[in-house]
Amino acid sequence: MNRVVIIDAKRSPMGSIPGELNGVEETVLLSKVFEALHRTWKKIEVDEAVTGSSFPLERDNLCRKAVQMVKGLENVPSYTICKTCASSDEALRDAYFKIKAGGAEAILVGGCEKISNSSYVLRYMKRNVKGAVSGKLPCFSDIEDKIQENDMAYISEMLSKRYHITRKQQDDFALDSIYKARLAAQKGRFKEEITQIAYEVQGQWHRVDEDTCLKAAREEDVVRSSQPFFLADGALTQYNAAPMCDCAAAVLVANRDYALKKGINIYAEMTDSVSIGVSKIKKGKAMAECISKLLKRNLLQVSDIDLFEINESFASQAIYTKQQLGIETDRMNVNGGNLALGYPIGATGLRMSISLIYEMLRRRARYGISVMCAGGCMAIATLFENVFSTEKG
């Protein structure tokens, strides 16, 4: 079986809604992050391209449309995957197993979500805002027996109540994420992974090169005084739940021997990927169980992992996963997470993996794990390894 490596990785800034990326079309945004990897993919032959997107606006194969916009990639066969929030994780996983089995030498993997233009998601957000403003929110007892697999906010509220995760704990976690992300931005830790997005609207050029969600006013007094957003007696607010945003991300995955033969630097080795589903009685627990399975399969312990990227769509989910596995705070989401940076649904997992890989290189950390839920009853966890060899550049 082939060893699989990441040989390049970039993402767009995370654009708040409404925000600076509103004027960029979905296909254009994705094509720009594909283009950002051109110095690497021009040296090799890309066998396929695959993109994960939860709510693609382009119904006729988003990935293929984006690839056709990039000179030099026009002939690459392409396809688009939807697996709710783990869409880009599934795309990466698909590329991993194809290369591992010898079905391809190099695959371009993308993730893209354009919430600004998604009528479906915006209707959902508008409904939540209307309910919160009007005060007409249900109580937990009203929905407890009706929670479905994709009712993520309600599943998070359920975890809060069943495992005694308090509102204060969730606000503390959110504030810590915001603090870490702002500090990381100040220190320039995101610069390497972000590619500038430039676009023209009515003759005027716009250039976006930083995560705009971090600019939102989310100081401690605002976070702690915010009212419940989903349930009248709930702990979730608009600040300890991740803000939706726009983003596209891309990585180039290759057979290790092929990359070395072409003289290409290696960022990290993708050692394994695990996808699981759990029963309804385990709603909200999939991320913790997925990491446990990944560790067991690779004969590793939590203590062996230097860095974790745990999905922060809701603070309670991340807290539950952290507590169940006994993950230390200084090894988890060290540059902040989705609560601070934003949540571009199906593109989120690939963004997390990219941020993890760059931090592993900075710290010369050996092992890193990224985990993303897919609804309340599925998850994907990916193990990366930095083997400190000369090909890392």
> How many C-beta atoms lie closer than 10 Å to residue 47's C-beta?
18
Write down the domain spans for the chain. 1-379
pLDDT confidence of residue 216: 83
Residue 392 pLDDT greater than 70, yes or no: no
Instruction: State how far the Cα of 302 lies from the Cα of 346, in Å rounded to an integer.
Output: 26
* For range 54-65, the mean pLDDT: 96
* For range 335-357, the mean pLDDT: 98
pLDDT confidence of residue 130: 62
Instruction: State how far the Cα of 348 lies from the Cα of 391, in Å rounded to an integer.
Output: 28
pLDDT confidence of residue 40: 98
Nearest to 273 by CA among 1, 4, 2, 76: 4
pLDDT confidence of residue 218: 87
Residue 118 pLDDT greater than 80, yes or no: no
pLDDT > 70 in the chain, percent = 94
Report for 58-72, 142-156, 375-389: range of highest mean pLDDT:
58-72
Q: What is the pTM of this model?
A: 0.95
Question: pLDDT of 282-303, one tens digit each?
Answer: 999 999 999 999 999 999 999 9
* For range 347-353, the mean pLDDT: 98
Residue 125 pLDDT greater than 80, yes or no: no
Order across the sheet with 367-373: list the strands. 78-81, 48-52, 106-113, 247-255, 4-11, 268-277, 378-385, 367-373, 307-310
Residue 391 pLDDT greater than 50, yes or no: no
> How many C-beta atoms lie closer than 10 Å to residue 49's C-beta?
27
Question: pLDDT of 195-227, one tens digit each?
Answer: 999 998 888 899 999 999 898 878 999 999 999
* For range 33-57, the mean pLDDT: 97
Return the exposure string of 151-184: e unless at least 16 CB atoms fall within 10 Å of the residue's CB, then b.
bbbbbbbbbbeeeebebebbbbbbbbbbebbbeb
Instruction: Answer whether CATH 3.40.47.10 is correct for domain 1-379.
Output: yes
pLDDT confidence of residue 294: 98
Amino acid at 276: I
Alpha helices in the chain (DSSP H): 26-35, 38-41, 62-68, 87-100, 119-134, 140-143, 152-162, 167-186, 220-225, 256-261, 286-297, 315-325, 338-341, 348-363
* For range 374-383, the mean pLDDT: 96
Instruction: State how far the Cα of 258 lies from the Cα of 2, in Å rounded to an integer.
Output: 10
Residue 103 pLDDT greater than 90, yes or no: yes
User: pLDDT grade, residue 44 (50/70/90)?
Assistant: very high
Residue 368 pLDDT greater than 50, yes or no: yes
Residue 389 pLDDT greater than 50, yes or no: no
154 CB-side CA count, 13 A:
16
Residue 390 pLDDT greater than 60, yes or no: no
pLDDT confidence of residue 18: 81
DSSP states along 56-88: -S-TTTHHHHHHHTSTT-TT--EEEE-BTBTHH
The position carrying tokens 């254009």 is: 28
Instruction: State how far the Cα of 270 lies from the Cα of 5, in Å rounded to an integer.
Output: 5
Establish whether the linkage from the previous residue to 18 is cis, with ω within 30° of 0: yes
User: pLDDT grade, residue 383 (50/70/90)?
Assistant: very high
Residue 51 pLDDT greater than 70, yes or no: yes
358 CB burial (10 A radius; 0-12, 13-18, 19+): buried
User: pLDDT grade, residue 317 (50/70/90)?
Assistant: very high
pLDDT confidence of residue 124: 62
Q: Specify whether the CB–CB gap between 21 and 201 falls below 8 A.
A: no
Q: What is the dihedral of CA 139, 120, 279, 347, to 10 degrees?
A: -120
Instruction: State how far the Cα of 29 lies from the Cα of 119, in Å rounded to an integer.
Output: 18
Residue 156 pLDDT greater than 50, yes or no: yes
Instruction: State how far the Cα of 230 lies from the Cα of 192, in Å rounded to an integer.
Output: 37
* For range 49-76, the mean pLDDT: 97
Assign 124 to helix, strand or coil. Answer: helix
Residue 393 pLDDT greater than 60, yes or no: no
Q: Which residues pair with 332 in a beta bridge?
A: 308
Assign 299 to helix, strand or coil. Answer: coil
User: pLDDT grade, residue 19 (50/70/90)?
Assistant: confident
Nearest to 106 by CA among 257, 216, 223: 257
pLDDT confidence of residue 362: 96
